[in-house]
Structure 1
Amino acid sequence: MKKYFPATLVILALILFASLTNAQEDEKNLTAEEAKIMQENLKKSMLALKREIKTEVNVENGSTITGNVTCKRVRYPENVVVYIEKIGDNKFPAPEEHGVVDQFNLTFVPHVIAIQKGTTIDFPNSDSVRHNVLSPPDCPMQFNLGTYDVGVVKHVTFDKSGEIPLLCNVHAEMSAFVLVLENPYFSLTGKDGVFKIEDVPPGTYKLSAWHEKLKTITKDVTLKAGKTTSMDFQLKKRK
């Protein structure tokens, strides 16, 4: 598994910032189409940041859970986190790998990141303006990184599980979510709504599906050694 350590992340942030700055400085010398392509390519590189950070687990003759999520009144069934609530005593070593939530074009990227409890997330500012990253007071873990300059990277270790909204008090339109989970058995859907959780010890578990706007659904699932079990979810609006 590829790991991102603080020094590497700083370099990544500086490269992205330099690319954005150079693009802005050279924009006068580019055609409108060339400038558009440059901005789109930079944005694609930002979107390639990982959306799941967890400890790698290997279980001999482990089970697999796979399935599809559909969402009512949501265009795509993406950014749904499907996770097992408890595996044994839920005591797993925290990942060494850092997550990254960047800031670009007045947007947090990625919009949703699922992490195992104990994970550190780096918050570089790769935008062209200053930003602030904070969580609201009514969430499981409150923090405020203050307003900081372009090119700066700040860090938060998430040691409490739950749904952590991300806000910027400089730009009210910015929002994102960190879902902090007790164990590494989770999967985050893309636009196709497909999820897959592998190397699960055989047993009976509570499997939940979370979405920022929809009601969380929990189902019982029984897994057999070496077998794949299919489980689908249909999420509806919260009441």
Structure 2
Amino acid sequence: MKIALITGVTAGFGEAICRKLIQANYQVIGTGRRTERLDKLKNEFGESFYPLAFDLRDTAAIEKALNSLPKSLSAVDLLINNAGLALGLEPAHKTNLNDWYQMIDTNIKGLVTVTRLILPQMVDRNSGHIINLGSIAGNYPYPGGNVYGGTKAFVKQFSLNLRADLAGTAIKVTNLEPGLCGDTEFSNVRFKGDVQKAAKVYEHIDYVKPEDIAEIVLWLNNQPPHVNINRIEVMPVAQTFSPLAVAKKSIV
């Protein structure tokens, strides 16, 4: 039985991935801040799910939680760095600086901390797979994407650099880059609880769903030992590339 550690398991992609992997007979270690949701998953899945409660911005809490894992769960086969968030959609000169800091601390600092703590035992065993949840925002700029897009560009390059560092090992690294995905709390968090504003983002669109991402995660991890998918970009058919913006001079 493979052991998977998933960050941000209490909603959206993380919860869907958790469900899919448990259905596929994985043992899942799930992390999150909301203990009541972790408890709910534990009650549902029993021994197949092991909860760890911590905030990804708290390095000491991450270390303490991971060090508390029982020996039977210490050899993680699959690390899914899923937890992350976007805050606000204002232009850079109008944004809340604390929102920037929170995105950096969660999307970058938290991700690299978990990776650094889990990776040595993968190297020791010469076995494992790290799947980072990036975003098309790390590939294509858009107004208001500023620091969020910057954090996801970091995740993409970090994933590629991990592959370079792990040359000669059997460890896999993948950056999974979704586009417009609904049925998550992503936009609710971005717009700080404005449900109507969040709903407008997905109105009349056949968007990618968390279950679609979960299927891709399982497929990625089930590739033959000699196959590594470096990056995989996923959009709904309804979403594609926009023309480059050109600001024309005003005519007086």
Whose strand fraction is larger, Structure 1's or Structure 2's?
1
Whose helix fraction is larger, Structure 1's or Structure 2's?
2
Query: Relative contact order, CA 8 A, sep 6+: which one is greater?
Result: 1
Normalising by structure 2, report the TM-score. 0.32
